[in-house]
Structure 1
Amino acid sequence: MTTIDKIAWLRLEAGKILSTRSRGKDVYYLPGGKREPGESDIQTLVREIGEELTATIAPDSAVHAGTFEAQAHGHAIGITVRMTCYTADYQGTLEPGSEVQELIWLTYADRERVSPVDQLIFDHLHQSGRLL
């Protein structure tokens, strides 16, 4: 089995979660991505959010919010995604970077519009009362 190791930013406001859609993709993903060699989780988070959303994560504010694993969207059976999630404060304006076509605030009603691993995260956040 192959595992894709990703880091994601959980940004919730007023019961909605920030999500993104990359160019050419048909589903929404939580912002974040794969680590570069030698990067820590937090270094990956800071770099990816800077690239995707042109905002600056405050590294000292990052808190681990869970790790989730599911079948990778658009990949062969047996390829999974392990998504390590963090909450964190940020500075700047959230705007789509070069890789992102759209950013959107989703609720639990949008669960079917996100990747399988994000669906697990939506379930967790909904059950804990954080995602409406």
Structure 2
Amino acid sequence: MVIAVVLLLIAMAALLVFAWVSHRAFSPLVRLTVLRSVKFRWHLLAYVLLQFVTIGYGYMIPNASQLGFGASVLAAGVVLLPGALLGAASAPVSGSLLDKFGPVRPMFTAMLADLRAFASKR
């Protein structure tokens, strides 16, 4: 417990030093002034939450397969394969749609498709 607290304090001190050096540098590695934008902070929060969900699913699905359903390690890993292949196949198409239409129309269309699929299950 003590080691965790000490490491957390060291990490916080390193973050403060990094912010101070970035503020003073002519060409900083990360421009922290972008955090002044409220819109940017909301988008950053959405991105961080999305990463938590993605990592959570990548952890929970294989564990539920193994512990809850008694699947082997290989079967639990293969459960993730269709989603990974679908994501890899749809990335170029969704990227070009994002470039062509901007973020609102493709995301709104995907949201409507999700809602329709959810409503048809009931």
Q: TM range, normalised to the smaller chain?
A: under 0.3
Answer 1 or 2: which has greater strand percent: 1
Answer 1 or 2: which has greater helix percent: 2
TM-score using structure 2 length: 0.25
Larger RCO of the pair (alpha carbons < 8 Å, separation 6+): 1
